[in-house]
Structure 1
Amino acid sequence: MNKLSKGLLAGAALLVAPFTQAAVVEWSYNVTTEWLGATFSGTNANQIVNDSLISWGRAGGDHTNPTLSAINSRSGIEISNSPATGNVFTNGMLPAPTNIITHYNNTLSSTYSTLTSTSILTTLDLTPVDPVGPAVPQFTTSFLVDFIETPNTTPCNFPSVTVCDDIFVIQFGALNTEFVYGGLTYFLSIVELSGNLTPLPDATCARASKANGCLGFTTREKMFTPAQFGFFITTRPLNVPEPAMLGLFGLGLLGLRAFGRRRSVKK
């Protein structure tokens, strides 16, 4: 059994472990994610930059429409499901789903400037509901994003399905943190749930001017790629893999959820 499989099994065992002492059973949460500015390759991006959307290309174009010609098109990256609200159980089997980041990759004319980098700020508010208690001090974390809008000509010089896929690379802040509430220590762990955010091939990282093992995704021309995030709260450390393994951990969670659904059907 490889190390990743062992880690996933150990994580699953932790999540179903019973409480050994009094603890908060259930929390309500509010998670907000927003863009913090952006940089572009030039002055002809016709950019839109706000908390939820960064878009570039033809002024008046629609980044959600993949059928437009290159001269009339726009691309973009957009945050949705923010704020995300709900309840999460301590040591629950499944993570609480939160915000989604989607890359809208449309074919653009080379006359347009493009996004090169941005940053993300995520804020989490937690309040115990079982038992009821005062809110936990607010958590914040930030991520850096590098974006490479590739030319639509060969050679691509990295593994690419279309000519050429665009590259989205994300550098995470803290994936794990701990906090004390009511005299007990809790652990908060961020995960990616869609399985789209994975370690990229070395050649793709090099094309993005990043070291081997960079984390992100590539998006085909005229395709949209989402990445959904989530989190666990546990009473013992959950060994979420380092950023280069975060996407594989997300794939493991997808498998775990599918296994649970199959078991439910068989009953």
Structure 2
Amino acid sequence: MKLQKLLLSVAAAGLCMAAPNLTQAALITSWDYTVDAAWQNWTPGTVNQFIEGNEDVLEWGTENQGGLSQLRVTRQLDGTITTNDGVGSPGATITHRNFAIDPPELASTDLVVDVTFAPTGNGFVAPFTQTFFIDFDETPNSLPCPYPGANEVPCDDIFILRNPEDLSVSFQVDDYLYTATLVFDEAAFESAGGTIGFEDIDGDGIPELFFLTRENRASILPTNIVITAVQVPEPAALAVAGMGIIGLGLATRRRRRQA
């Protein structure tokens, strides 16, 4: 499945959350937003975590040549998003610095992201917290490379996002349903030798959203946050709000799916 189609389906499946009514029922055209991101629950515990500038960094391995491997993510950012502009505004950037190393190797980590949306010039705030479950494979640099379509020797490394359905979140204000979707900048990632795909690449029978990265490079993955809005007739709006309450309850009980 192409990534664009995946993101469209993700947007349709985002969590719905009822928001307090504002004084006006008009479409909200501009949103101020903040993003706070951090790595948590990495395995093995010997992976080193530290803060460098505005990045949260995971570093692992015993240096073989070139340096240690790293995952980096932007810690904090803010800005303004225009509704329905199709472009959005910058989200957090993830960088994988990929080097040939000896163990220990990163196996998995959670990326916890706190986001707030506030209509520009209005006191109402919609806060969300989302955890992205990431499995990582520091592949051996010898044939056969373990993943189809990957570059051969040195083999690409891979990280897999296990809950791509959580790339979108929806919330209702008056009779408009707003959906915020995290969109990956594929062109920038590919320019650094990276590849994004959505298929069953690990052979478990379930399609995965995966990211392949070249050896001896820093693969940079910028993201954008896009907000779209649709008007919801009042009876349907009430139903959506009810579904949102149910969905929120399920989300609080979500656990990492085993690979």
TM-score, length basis structure 1:
0.65
Amino acid at match of 1:75: S
**Separation (CA, whole Å) in 1 of partners of 2:207 and 2:38:** 26
Higher relative contact order (CA 8 A, sep 6+): 2
**Structure 2 portions without partners, runs of 5+:** 12-24, 190-194, 232-259
Cα distance, 1:123 vs structure 2: 1.1
User: Which residue of 1 is the match for residue 227 of structure 2?
Assistant: 233
Matched, 1:160 2:150: yes
User: Which residue of 1 is the match for residue 98 of structure 2?
Assistant: 105
Matched, 1:77 2:75: no
**Separation (CA, whole Å) in 1 of partners of 2:154 and 2:98:** 12
Is this contact kept in 2: 1:103–1:219, CA < 8 A? yes
**Structure 1 portions without partners, runs of 5+:** 12-20, 59-68, 238-267
Amino acid at match of 1:133: N
Equivalent of 2:114, from 123, 134, 159?
123
What per-residue deviation string (whole Å, max 9, x for no partner) do you get for residues 87-112 of structure 1? 11111231211101111100113xx2
Equivalent of 1:33, from 34, 37, 41?
37
What per-residue deviation string (whole Å, max 9, x for no partner) do you get for residues 74-129 of structure 1? 1011102x3121111111231211101111100113xx210000011111112221
Percent of paired sites with the same residue: 25
What per-residue deviation string (whole Å, max 9, x for no partner) do you get for residues 22-64 of structure 1? 2222111111121112002xx8x5x312471111124xxxxxx
User: Which residue of 2 is the match for residue 142 of structure 1?
Assistant: 131
Moved over 6 A (4+): none
Cα distance, 1:72 vs structure 2: 7.2
**Separation (CA, whole Å) in 2 of partners of 1:54 and 1:224:** 14
Greater strand share, 1 or 2?
Answer: 2
* CA root-mean-square deviation: 2.9
**Separation (CA, whole Å) in 2 of partners of 1:147 and 1:72:** 20
Amino acid at match of 2:177: T
User: Which residue of 1 is the match for residue 160 of structure 2?
Assistant: 169
Going from structure 1 to structure 2, the CA distance change for 1:154 and 1:200 (only over 3 Å counts) comes to: farther
Alignment partner of 1:174: what SS? helix
User: Which residue of 2 is the match for residue 220 of structure 1?
Assistant: 214
User: Which residue of 2 is the match for residue 114 of structure 1?
Assistant: 105
